[in-house]
Structure 1
């Protein structure tokens, strides 16, 4: 078991298209570069709906994510994406702990 954690946050693009979400994601990614415990993040787009997007971040551990989330910089750093969170979903934000993994070589 890796102990890693994945954080998923669903977004909805404004009527003009996904560009605003993509721009906010890129700005936040630059800001978060070098954050202790953050291994990677990705912006994923739904194949069947260009307006549905998902940010997935991977953390070395749940503890590393929670420490960052509770820190003073968390809300400021992620503010550019907050207006696009898909609040129509029952859960627009989820945290998963990796329990098992296969490399698939």
Structure 2
């Protein structure tokens, strides 16, 4: 059974660059369009601190995510967001496998 995977990358808006995160997100998203196994992504903004963001991507499986992560394109494609990554949260990202979902996902 292959479970979907969600990846969160934590980013923070720096002083003096109010559109930097959004601009970088759109650039990376355009580059990622059509990536095998990537089901989609979203830019989320904290309702508590408007300088904090998370990029949430959904992958069809851990194998699909890991396969992409091992490519040379991974670092090049995600480079525009790297200066904004919030490393105060440890590595600045988290990977979660979908354990359960409602309504139930048909391929789980």
Whichever structure has more strand as a proportion of its residues is 1
TM-score (norm 1): 0.93
Check conservation: 1:10, 1:53, Cα contact below 8 A: yes
Are residue 72 (structure 1) and residue 72 (structure 2) matched? yes
Alpha-carbon offset, residue 23 of structure 1: 0.2
| Secondary structure class of the residue paired with 2:51 | strand
- In structure 2, C-alpha distance between the alignment counterparts of 1:51 and 1:17, rounded to whole Å: 11
Check conservation: 1:8, 1:57, Cα contact below 8 A: yes
Matches within 5 A, 1:55-94: 55-94=55-94
- In structure 1, C-alpha distance between the alignment counterparts of 2:53 and 2:18, rounded to whole Å: 8
List gaps (5 residues or longer) in structure 2.
none
* Counterpart for residue 51 of structure 2: 51
Deviates more, 1:34-43 or 1:17-26: 17-26
Matches within 5 A, 1:1-105: 3-16=3-16, 18-103=18-103
Check conservation: 1:40, 1:59, Cα contact below 8 A: yes
List gaps (5 residues or longer) in structure 1.
none
Deviates more, 1:9-18 or 1:60-69: 9-18
User: RMSD of the alignment, in Å?
Assistant: 1.6
For residues 48 and 17 of structure 1, do their structure 2 counterparts lie closer, same or farther at Cα, with a shift above 3 Å needed? farther
TM-score (norm 2): 0.90
Q: Output one character per residue of 1:9-67: Cα deviation in whole Å (capped at 9) or x when no partner.
A: 10110113541000000000000000000001000000011100000000000100000
